[in-house]
Structure 1
Amino acid sequence: MAVLILCALAISPRWAFGASTRPAQGAAQEVAAYPSRPIRFIIPAPPGGTTGILGRLVGQRLTDVLNQPVVVDHRGGAGGVVAAEITAKAAPDGYTLLVAYHSHTTNATLNPKVPYRPVDDYRPITQATRAGLVLVVNLQMPVKTVQELIAYGKANPGKLNFSSAGNGSGGHMAGELLKQMTGIQAQHVPYKGTGPSLIDVAGGQIEMSFAGMVPVQPLIRSGRVRALAVTTTERIPSIPDLPTVAESGVPGFEVVGWYGFLAPAGVPQPIVAKLHAEIVKILRDPELTKRLTNDGAEVVASTPDEFEKFLRADVVKWAKVVKASGARLD
């Protein structure tokens, strides 16, 4: 059998070479022509949240640069697990990207059975931004400072609820960290996105929430919620009068949310490189940078390798908080 195979190869070298290179040539041509059809941004939350806003800002500009539509597809649910699974299982061709945020690295600890690995099942493209959260309360709450909130929580055990964009979100982790560091009791109420969460805070159904700057600022400015503090270690330039949680009596408190772009594992390196170059260029555009900074965000625009290292470290960082809180993702 071995002799027959060798003879066949000897007789038809061109045929054999052509058969082995045709798929490779096709793949190379597809990469060179990328993108040749619309790209889909998967958003792990309903409309109205920071991920959706960022996805649209970048997507609109990427459409102009690549001459192909970028479609924003909201897939909220299960704290981001639905969107993450869709992306992980998508074809690795660069036409499906996840606009990920901080819950992506906490979900695996909240539920070890999530159907994907938060780092290894993706090709990191870039960490787009990092941003603090704002602690807000409804107007019926008799508190105007973090210390008054802590005192209220201790004096009224079981009466304090805090909402978030979902299990594992930055708002969820910030609330759990505040509980651990102050000893107050507060029940977490997860929503399917920041928008619905803030609606119920403004409506008085929920006492407090940690929310992203972009979606919460209109409610603060219109007087529909009361802002108490920010979760960064330093005050945010766009709202300098608002103190940090740390300086308000909880030293060492810090929660910084992140947002970034991930592709499915297996996407060819040239496509990753092209997406990275164009998205980073968009993020560093002075007009967009100014808008993001005014919204309390800091542009990161990291390399794929830097983003991967960050993701691995973030998984480890929040695992301790998740385990101590006893929180789980159902």
Structure 2
Amino acid sequence: MADTKQNRRRLLQGAAALSGMALAPRWTGASATPDYPDHAIRLIIPYPPGGAGDIVARMISPGLGQALGQAIVDDNRPGGAQIIATQLAVSAPPDGYTLYLASTTLSVNPTLMRHLNFDTLKDFAPITIAASSPLVFVAHPSLGVSNIQELVAYARAHPGAVNYGSSGPGTGGHLSVELLKYMAGIDMVHVPYKGAGPALMDLIAGVVKVVCTSPLPAIPQVRDGKLKALGMTGAQRSPIAPDLPTVAEQGYPGYQSTLWYALLTQARTPAAVQTRIRDAAIKTLRDPALMQQFVSQGAEVVANPPADAHAFIQAEIARWGQLIERIGLKGTA
């Protein structure tokens, strides 16, 4: 009788253990729990409030938070050629609770900056390229130029007299002007800022005379008569300003520069968590209302798969690296 009770007890314990194994989550580690996310998620933005990247982040955050079921907390960390924000993002725990909205600068810094303590391709896992847009050359009205050809003519007649602002060293706006300088053989002086917002404020005030930046913050200032649009950097004209010619149309065939925004997380983030973020991001970006909002701002939703985003960033590193080496541009870090 005692043996029967003991055997029954062992059978029940074994069944309980098997049941526990069947119900137990297969993921390991505190960060890879099936209930991800269970608290707010931080989105690091390497721009100050008011810049193009900040605008893009705040367009995406509400829908992404709704899709994930948790609030997205926007965290602006401008300056340092975006290295400050990038280092903060790459050093965060790989648990899916810190995302990073990178831009073209992410593909420029590996060549431009001498000492980086991270590897862009190895330390980050791309979720998707969220959106892309051409940039627009805008000038202060006092400069007296109305298009790219007039800007080049003025710069040639006054070498080194035109100062141009940018969101910082290695940003899309910086490299776009340097590309024009190289192709046109002109000299303009670079004045870096900690984001497009401060650069545009000084442009409107006349402190600098030219800025090349995203249409998102710039075109409204053009429409208000505070700035003069000179040309778009894309391969074709933009729907936001269909009457504004591209730089290529104005005597520089082959000129093209695109500003893009990539949603990233840490490479060591569990694959299941990355998939959860990717699905939520794609759902958010492909919402027709949000897509139309991007179009109205002169941008286009991309929402591509992670593998395509990785290949794109890799190609951008090579493309901008060739230009930087060709013109001998030097970084500061």
Same fold (TM over 0.5): yes
Q: Aligned runs of 1:286-301 on 2, under 5 Å?
A: 286-301=288-303
Say which of 115, 132, 135 aligns to 1:133: 135
Shift, 1:65, TM fit: 2.3
| SS of equivalent residue, structure 1 residue 119 | helix
**Alignment deviations for residues 134-187 of structure 1 (CA, whole Å, 9 cap, x no partner):** 001101012112111111000001101111111111000101100100001011
Give, in whole Å, the separation in 1 of the partners of 2:210 and 2:145.
Answer: 11
Could you say which residue in structure 1 is the equivalent of 2:148? 146
Structure 1 gap segments, 5+ residues each: 1-14
Could you say which residue in structure 2 is the equivalent of 1:233? 235
Shift, 1:94, TM fit: 0.4
Give, in whole Å, the separation in 1 of the partners of 2:79 and 2:327.
Answer: 21
Q: Aligned runs of 1:195-214 on 2, under 5 Å?
A: 195-214=197-216
Give, in whole Å, the separation in 1 of the partners of 2:226 and 2:314.
Answer: 38
| SS of equivalent residue, structure 1 residue 241 | coil
Could you say which residue in structure 1 is the equivalent of 2:55? 53
Give, in whole Å, the separation in 2 of the partners of 1:105 and 1:25.
Answer: 33
Give, in whole Å, the separation in 2 of the partners of 1:124 and 1:101.
Answer: 12
Higher deviation after alignment, 53-62 or 95-104: 53-62
Shift, 1:30, TM fit: 3.7
Amino acid at match of 1:151: A
For the pair 1:114 / 2:116, whether they are aligned, the reply is yes
| SS of equivalent residue, structure 2 residue 141 | coil
Shift, 1:67, TM fit: 2.3
Give, in whole Å, the separation in 1 of the partners of 2:27 and 2:150.
Answer: 67
Give, in whole Å, the separation in 1 of the partners of 2:253 and 2:70.
Answer: 48
Q: Aligned runs of 1:81-96 on 2, under 5 Å?
A: 81-96=83-98
Could you say which residue in structure 2 is the equivalent of 1:189? 191
Give, in whole Å, the separation in 2 of the partners of 1:86 and 1:41.
Answer: 11
The normalised TM-score by structure 1 is: 0.91
Say which of 247, 250, 275 aligns to 1:248: 250
Could you say which residue in structure 2 is the equivalent of 1:302? 304
| SS of equivalent residue, structure 2 residue 225 | coil
Give, in whole Å, the separation in 2 of the partners of 1:54 and 1:229.
Answer: 22
Aligned residues: 311
Say which of 153, 159, 162 aligns to 2:161: 159
Could you say which residue in structure 2 is the equivalent of 1:4? none
Q: Do 2:45 and 2:74's aligned partners in 1 also have CA atoms closer than 8 Å?
A: yes
Q: Do 2:31 and 2:95's aligned partners in 1 also have CA atoms closer than 8 Å?
A: no
Q: Do 1:31 and 1:268's aligned partners in 2 also have CA atoms closer than 8 Å?
A: no
Could you say which residue in structure 2 is the equivalent of 1:104? 106
Give, in whole Å, the separation in 1 of the partners of 2:92 and 2:223.
Answer: 40
Q: Do 1:109 and 1:322's aligned partners in 2 also have CA atoms closer than 8 Å?
A: yes
Q: Do 2:99 and 2:263's aligned partners in 1 also have CA atoms closer than 8 Å?
A: yes
Higher deviation after alignment, 24-33 or 50-59: 24-33
Q: Do 1:99 and 1:261's aligned partners in 2 also have CA atoms closer than 8 Å?
A: yes
Q: Do 2:27 and 2:33's aligned partners in 1 also have CA atoms closer than 8 Å?
A: no
Shift, 1:92, TM fit: 0.5
Could you say which residue in structure 2 is the equivalent of 1:43? 45
Give, in whole Å, the separation in 1 of the partners of 2:224 and 2:207.
Answer: 18
Give, in whole Å, the separation in 1 of the partners of 2:290 and 2:43.
Answer: 19
Could you say which residue in structure 2 is the equivalent of 1:7? none
Q: Do 2:127 and 2:264's aligned partners in 1 also have CA atoms closer than 8 Å?
A: yes
Higher Rg of the two aligned structures: 2
RMSD of Structure 2 on Structure 1 (CA): 1.8
The normalised TM-score by structure 2 is: 0.90
Give, in whole Å, the separation in 2 of the partners of 1:105 and 1:139.
Answer: 33
Percent identity for Structure 1 against Structure 2: 38
Shift, 1:293, TM fit: 0.8
| SS of equivalent residue, structure 1 residue 36 | coil
Could you say which residue in structure 2 is the equivalent of 1:267? 269
Give, in whole Å, the separation in 2 of the partners of 1:186 and 1:43.
Answer: 29
**Alignment deviations for residues 213-251 of structure 1 (CA, whole Å, 9 cap, x no partner):** 111122111111100110011111121111101001111
